Amino acid sequence: MLTTDLFWLVVRPLVVTSTLEKSDALVVFGGGLRHDGRLGSSTEERVRYAAALYHQGYAEHVLLMGGYRVPPRFEESEVMADALVRLGVPRDRIHLDRSSRNTYENARRTFALCSELGFHRVILVTSPYHMRRAWMCLRRYPLTVLAAPVEQSEAYRPGLSARLRAIDLVLHEYGGLLSYWWRGWI
């Protein structure tokens, strides 16, 4: 019980949530691919949640932000798009960014893509432990950004191995926040 309480005390500051309302697009920040080209667990949970929000009618478009590649042929945003299509999102409603390599670039490219498409209000979909940094990066641009952290995240799974992975993810995020603050990105 104590370890669970301590874990939530550390995670809670990373989580940002908003009351969701109809928006121009869902924006999904990538979380990487496995070495065999499949979605990493963070990316997969984000894509699944975005598909659920799409089917609930929160937005008619989905922007997939991720230029991560696994040579020779796997591209993060394309693998994400294929997964969304399998989950029932029409391909013509999916817009890809193939160049961003980190959260800061995801936000910058999101704004560029939104400007190009005429979008002003977006719902940011990412893992709960990643939301604070992603939201802070994206909020620097003149967009209305609603935060939708994945509800069924790997960070919430019980068990020792799941908890150790979650601790690793949380430590990475605090390091990312410090690094982004130092660079002036948030």
**Based on the structure, what is the number of domains in the chain?**
1
Q: Give the global pTM.
A: 0.87
pLDDT band at 3 (very low <50, low <70, confident <90, very high): very low
On the 0-12 / 13-18 / 19+ scale of CB atoms within 10 A, 57 is: exposed
Read off the pLDDT of each residue in 47-71 and give the average, rounded to a whole number.
90
pLDDT of 1 strictly over 60: no
Backbone conformation region of residue 56, classed left if phi is above 0, alpha if psi is from -120 to 50, else beta:
alpha
Beta carbons of 95 and 63 less than 8 angstroms apart: yes
Closest to 21 in 3D by CA, of 100, 121, 111: 121
CATH number of 176's domain: 3.40.50.620
Output the CA–CA distances (angstroms, integers) from residue 89 to 62, 67, 68, 145, 160, in the order listed. Answer: 9, 21, 22, 22, 35
Q: What is the 3-state secondary structure (H, E, C) of 20-61?
A: CCCCCEEEEECCCECCCCCECHHHHHHHHHHHHHHHCCCCCC
- 144-175 pLDDT, tens digit per residue, is 999 999 987 666 666 666 667 677 777 888 88
Domain that holds residue 168: 2-183
Q: Which two tokens stand for residue 111?
A: 């704004």
How far is 144 from 152, CA to CA, in rounded Å? 25
Task: Considering only residues 107 and 71, tell me which one the structure prediction assigns the higher pLDDT.
Answer: 107
- In this structure, what are the phi and psi dihedrals at residue 34, rounded to the nearest 5 degrees? -75, 165
